[in-house]
Amino acid sequence: MNAPKSTVLFVCVHNAGRSQMAAGWLRHLAGDRVEVLSGGSAPGEGINPVAVEAMHEVGIDIAANTPRALATDDVRASDVVITMGCGDACPIFPGKRYEDWELTDPAGQGIDTVRAVRDDIKARVEALVAEILPA
């Protein structure tokens, strides 16, 4: 019998840049072996177009994604909750793994800065995949 899939929730303020790029990387690297959720403490109107461009450069399409509000049920359902600059907006439940990734907010930044954020996120997601998925 297969072990249940881990669920990872990425949370940033607007759910328009960092958390969307992280979710895109995790879906790309782990495929359907991990359930991926994302949300924002104050969701934006749309995905950051520079983040879309930076991810497109590495073959990952996040253009059709839509920022959504952080849902308490998403936190409850997740095994790993990764926050990115949203402070204490995320509810805490016992037994969950929480990490706070300090990342530059790509909002209003140029492509070079957003590429650096994208690559930092990729390295962190790769490390996460190595930890939560069996070899």
Which residues belong to the active site?
12, 86, 90
What distances in angstroms separate CA 124 from CA 16, 45, 101, 102, one per listed residue?
18, 26, 9, 11
Show the beta-strand stretches assigned E in the chain.
Answer: 6-12, 34-40, 80-84, 97-100
CA atoms within 13 A on the CB side of 90: 28
d(C-alpha 85, C-alpha 106), whole Å: 11
- Show the tokens assigned to 87: 């402070």
